[in-house]
Structure 1
Amino acid sequence: MLVEFTALHWIYVVFIVLIIGFMVKRWDTSLISILGIFVLAIVATGDLTAALSKVFNSFIYAITELLSTILIISLIVAMSQVMKKSGINEVMVAPFTKLIRTPTLAYWVTGILMMIISWFFWPSPAVALLGAVLLPVAIRAGLPALGVAMAMNLFGHGIALSGDFIIQGAPKLTADAAGIPVADVVSASVPLVIVMGVVTTITAFIFLRRDMKKGTLELVGTYDGEKVEEKSENLLTLGQKKFFALLIVVAFLLDVLAMSLLKLTGGDATALVGGTAVFILLLLAVVAHKKKGLEKTTSYFIEGFQFGFKVFGPVIPIAAFFYLGDSGFIKIIGEYLPSTSQGIVNDLGLGLAALVPLTKEIAVVTLAGVGAITGLDGSGFSGITLAGSIANLFGTAIGEGTATLTALGQIAAIWVGGGTLVPWALIPAAAICNVSPFELARRNLVPVVVGLVVTTIVAMFLI
């Protein structure tokens, strides 16, 4: 099929290259993304006023597409705040502290517990929920504070966030950019997440044990940076805390069961988890704060939404740009592409297939590289739409593997930028454990790189 390229196609390619360049330089991508939207709009319409309006409309479109993701994360964080204030989180992890008797058990129990809780609450709230409770227990068992931080990072911000199987915020972003169903990305990511997680955590543990035997690691944290630790308040009795801790666990397990039986995925699964979080928040706020329950409920919602928009603020401009690569172009700017066009990204993929003998090996390595580069901004989320968009392009070019390529790009981006390698993304875990985020990033570097290399090789055999 003959693909008709226009100036809009080339402008889109130029700005993709510029955005990647900005990420490599660790510059903020908001300005270049907005400029890209504006240039595409003004070239398409030839009208300055219309182009300015299209920039605003692109933000509305992006926020509309991302709203369910922003909302679920905000609600989960809001719920985690009342759990932390009331001390329910301490009761929830108390049974696991009895298992932590040795440094090895401390590493694996902390990590696995962090992974499970991060699937439901997201890693940043999970660090706050777990860190202050498990850190002293792990140190008493002989695991250095740096080892605790590594376990929380690799299992939470690495395994749990890169798969994001329950909340499905990350898969929705990449799936939308790739133009495929969320369920396809989730299923394709399962083997890759397992390989990445197993290789990375075992490699990290081997290096950790080696240095512990050498005696080169301090048992407690020694970082002089600001350490923020909120203590729980005496809002509930011990019996009430135990009751609500059990209730919360049962409620989310029932959600998972319902997702399985009713085959709920994507937005439906997110809505179920979100609705459960809202009612748990309301119940806890009213019982814990009594007469001030109504007032406190609002304050918890505000905290949650502040967190949600703080995380997704940088994502909106770049997502708005990459939505133009698919059906978003017509909805945002209008029908200015050739009638034979299948969307800018699909057109580029078809053109690339005709010009370059792309192989699945080249596509896989490229996606892993693009994902890692997009993670350099320390967000992990701001660039995964780019990974999805390029996965769509390469998947179209080689005729298969779009879901696997999308999942690989997502995993690479989030492992690098979501909180395991980029120092400024490591601050939550580093602060809780009172260790240097730069030292934590240095410790994570080799295990994560080894994991990415192995996962990339495995991906070649899955396409």
Structure 2
Amino acid sequence: MGIELTTLHYVYILFIVLILGVMLLRRDTSLVCICGIFVIGLLVKGSIYQAVSAIFNSFIYAITELLGTILIISLIVAMSRVLLATGINEAIVSPITRLIRTPSQAYWITGLLMMVMSWFFWPSPAVALIGAVLLPVSVRAGLPPVGVAMAMNLFGHGIALSGDFVIQGAPKLTAAAAGIPVQSVVSASVPLVFVMGLTATCTAYWLLQRELAGKETLAGRETELSQEKLTLYGQDDDALLGNMLSCTAKGLLAVMVPALFLLDVGIMYAAELQGGDATALVGGTAVFILVLIALLAHRNQGLEKITAYFIDGFKFGFTVFGPVIPIAAFFYLGDAGISQIMGKVLPLGSQGLVNDIGMAIASVVPLNAGVGAVTVTVVGAITGLDGSGFSGISLAGSIAHLFAAAIGSGIAILTALGQIAAIWVGGGTLVPWALIPAAAICGVSPFELARRNFWPVLLGLLVTTLTAMYLI
């Protein structure tokens, strides 16, 4: 049995409802989260200056918890910059381009390659790494640019990012909010990620095939990407010349880069590395690759260019996670964070605000696996409406914790389900302002891309939710 809910619990519930309401209105939630931290601090401390201090302390706590995730993403992006600048990315994917002869081959090969690259580089850098090379080839094979964008989008920002099996940025956030180990979320997400992915990508392929039936091959379509589009990914004119390395050097490095990451995967398996240890290995490998290629490519300017690439990567990392920090700071108060930020303030017998609320709901509402799965999916999808799949997954993890406590089981499955729903909607497959990287590289409207993705993603969420009900 849970404890009796206090004013603190009800205030926390109120602000969760307010945050969801603001997200539904497609407005930023940072101010609401900051107000929530202040009000909770005021209730706990009874002092305005201490409540103000609690805002800063909660930010520090959130940054400390997120720092490893921010760092690995920043390093991966920094490495991707040097690969793109030197043309090594083109050498990496060039053997694949020979296999693309039909629209079907273009869709599946582009998508699968995007998925693999996204696991190691994250989707936005991966779009830049392979989009410029595969778009012309795919269009010549008969797949329209919007089809290329759909493939990169669904496989990269959908399948790869929602699972995030290698870098594990997403599972760390949801696992922390749910109060369970990262590996539990990763393991539970595997069947759900692939059910979601297969449903969405196969539906999208069927719709594309139906549209292409009777149409002429788009072989003569203009496919050259403008300089303006490529500069979206932080490349300057000199970097795009692609003549910093010889063809032989590019070829050797193009073999070395994936080989090193494959070696990392083997070491993770053999040494049973998980969570932070696995992330550290990938991050260190990314730094090694960046330093080596920057020194070889830029020679006398190598030392300065290494720093420049790091700065570029950290700009990206903190730009992505800037909106996440206030939101994560608020939701960490729902678990152990409140004790570490504000002291031992919970009533005797409390297991955290979220867990207490879950037990209270269980005593009033007869919850079951079906209700819990549907609710977590809906909440996850709502949190993604702000266009940042990561800003809401802490809430998805907290809600999963709440419902699992009420149901009595299934916390890992519900957490993974919330993560998948939030990232598929907000991480870059449905919300137009989150689709800009793939849309820009393919020269299509992000609103058109969102419209094309709508039914495949909606059907995928339905099938995945039904699957989660069965697995709980």
Which of 268, 277, 287 is 2:286 aligned to? 277
Counterpart in the other structure of 2:130: 130
Counterpart in the other structure of 2:401: 392
Identity %: 66
Deviations 1:92-130 (A, max 9, x none): 000000100111000000000000000000000000000
Distance 1:380 1:355 in 2: 32
Distance 1:116 1:221 in 2: 27
Question: In the alignment, does 2:257 pair up with 1:255?
Answer: no
Q: What are the within-5 Å matches in structure 2 for residues 197-216 of structure 1?
A: 197-215=197-215
Question: In the alignment, does 2:427 pair up with 1:418?
Answer: yes
SS at match of 1:386: helix
Distance 2:466 2:216 in 1: 33
Distance 2:186 2:251 in 1: 34
Which of 351, 362, 367 is 2:360 aligned to? 351
Deviations 1:368-417 (A, max 9, x none): 00010001000100000000001001001110000000000000000000
Counterpart in the other structure of 1:111: 111
Counterpart in the other structure of 1:382: 391
Q: Can you give the 5+ residue segments of structure 1 that lack an aligned partner in the other structure?
A: none
Cα deviation, residue 227, structure 1: 3.0
Distance 1:178 1:226 in 2: 42
Distance 1:304 1:216 in 2: 42
- Two-structure CA RMSD over aligned residues (Å): 1.6
Counterpart in the other structure of 1:460: 469
Which of 331, 335, 346 is 1:337 aligned to? 346
The alpha-carbon distance between structure 1 residues 358 and 171, as it changes in their structure 2 partners (threshold 3 A), is same
Greater alpha carbon shift after TM alignment, 333-342 vs 201-210: 333-342
Deviations 1:257-311 (A, max 9, x none): 1111111111111011000001111101111100100000000000000000000
Question: Which amino acid in the other structure matches residue 463 of structure 2?
Answer: V
8 Å contact from structure 2 (residues 141, 217) kept in 1: no
Question: Which amino acid in the other structure matches residue 429 of structure 1?
Answer: A
Distance 2:375 2:163 in 1: 20
SS at match of 1:306: helix
Counterpart in the other structure of 1:327: 336
Question: Which amino acid in the other structure matches residue 166 of structure 1?
Answer: V
Deviations 1:145-177 (A, max 9, x none): 110000000000000000000000000000000
User: TM-score scaled to structure 1, two decimals?
Assistant: 0.98
Question: In the alignment, does 2:74 pair up with 1:65?
Answer: no
8 Å contact from structure 1 (residues 225, 436) kept in 2: no
Counterpart in the other structure of 1:152: 152
Distance 2:227 2:439 in 1: 9
The alpha-carbon distance between structure 1 residues 90 and 225, as it changes in their structure 2 partners (threshold 3 A), is closer
Distance 1:96 1:278 in 2: 26
Distance 2:39 2:30 in 1: 14
Counterpart in the other structure of 1:85: 85
User: TM-score scaled to structure 2, two decimals?
Assistant: 0.96
8 Å contact from structure 2 (residues 332, 338) kept in 1: yes
Runs of 4+ in structure 1 displaced over 2 angstroms? Answer: 214-233
Counterpart in the other structure of 1:444: 453
Counterpart in the other structure of 1:165: 165
SS at match of 1:228: helix
Distance 2:161 2:470 in 1: 24
Cα deviation, residue 134, structure 1: 0.5
The alpha-carbon distance between structure 1 residues 216 and 21, as it changes in their structure 2 partners (threshold 3 A), is farther
Distance 2:358 2:2 in 1: 12
Cα deviation, residue 449, structure 1: 0.3
Cα deviation, residue 353, structure 1: 1.0
Question: Which amino acid in the other structure matches residue 27 of structure 1?
Answer: R
Distance 1:80 1:120 in 2: 10
Greater alpha carbon shift after TM alignment, 347-356 vs 1-10: 1-10
SS at match of 1:350: helix
Counterpart in the other structure of 2:188: 188
Counterpart in the other structure of 2:275: 266
Counterpart in the other structure of 1:23: 23
Cα deviation, residue 228, structure 1: 3.5
Which of 229, 233, 243 is 1:227 aligned to? 229
Cα deviation, residue 218, structure 1: 6.9
Question: Which amino acid in the other structure matches residue 288 of structure 1?
Answer: A
The alpha-carbon distance between structure 1 residues 216 and 42, as it changes in their structure 2 partners (threshold 3 A), is farther
Distance 2:60 2:241 in 1: 39
Deviations 1:221-262 (A, max 9, x none): 799996335535311001101111111111100100111111
The alpha-carbon distance between structure 1 residues 321 and 198, as it changes in their structure 2 partners (threshold 3 A), is same
Distance 1:212 1:438 in 2: 20
Cα deviation, residue 214, structure 1: 4.5
Cα deviation, residue 178, structure 1: 0.1
Distance 1:78 1:328 in 2: 31
SS at match of 2:28: coil
Q: Can you give the 5+ residue segments of structure 2 that lack an aligned partner in the other structure?
A: none
Question: Which amino acid in the other structure matches residue 26 of structure 2?
Answer: R
